[in-house]
Amino acid sequence: MRSTAADIAVDVVRLLRVRGETVAVAESLTGGLVAAELTAVPGASKVFRGSVTPYATELKHRLLGVDATLLARRGAVNAQVAAQMAAGVRKALGADWGIATTGVAGPEPQDGQPVGTVFVGLDGPGAAGSGSAGGGKVESLRLNGDRAEIRMESVRSVLALLLKELASEQTGNERAQDTEQNGGF
């Protein structure tokens, strides 16, 4: 059985607490749902820095530093925009990790993209290109369903992306410690 967004949020908060790290959220199409899932978890105040919901395209540039030329040429529903939103919220809110959602939940296409086109982005200490605008990781999704289903699957997907990164780094750190404790073997 696939984990729900609420289940994933519990694991994300737990791992961030163990690591002593924080997260910030930039969400367009999800309109605050990612932040709501994270803050529903007891103890989230120790790891959740805050969120920005730049629903209007120009706010992505003004609040998060997303490249204005990119927004003008490609629109807000774009992989690079998701990456820059994640990096921008991480920097703006002083978090270790930034995650972002942008896409089309419907009922109409947007920026030449069909309903169900979603990009979720992540920027953090272990993400490739972290700290730079447009760095980190992005997943492109093609989702089916109505507006509510697309938005909730987007929430689940961005939290799963962060959890996967946190878990892989945790496993990597544990392996490095084991190797060190065993004389390098």
Q: What are the structure tokens assigned to 99, written together?
A: 């995650």
Task: Determine the pLDDT at residue 182.
Answer: 43
Cβ atoms 31, 102 nearer than 8 A? no
Separation between Cα atoms, residue 125 and residue 1, nearest integer Å: 31
pLDDT number for residue 2: 81
Q: Which tokens sit at 140?
A: 């492109």
pLDDT of residue 9: 98
Q: Low-confidence residues of the chain, pLDDT below 50?
A: 128-135, 175-185
Total residue count of the chain as it appears in this document: 185
The whole-chain average pLDDT of the chain stands at 90
CA pseudo-torsion sign 116, 60, 49, 95? positive
Q: Give the CATH number of the domain where residue 89 resides.
A: 3.90.950.20
Q: 5-19 and 147-181 are packed helices; what angle lies between their axes, rounded to 10 degrees?
A: 30
Cα–Cα separations (whole angstroms), residue 185 to 88, 106, 151, 171: 40, 54, 46, 17
| CB contact burial 84-100 (16+ within 10 A = b; e otherwise) | bbbbbbbbbbebbbbbb
d(CA 69, CA 87): 17
CB distance 95 to 57 below 8 Å: no
pLDDT for residue 58: 96
The predicted-structure confidence for 14-45, as pLDDT tens digits, reads as follows 999 999 999 999 999 999 999 999 999 999 99
Helix (H, G, I), strand (E, B) or coil at 97: strand
pLDDT (0 to 100) of residue 113: 96
Distance CA 20, CA 41 (A): 16
Which pLDDT does position 1 carry in this prediction? 74
Domain membership of residue 21 as a residue range:
5-181
Tally of domains within the chain:
1
Q: DSSP class of residue 2?
A: P
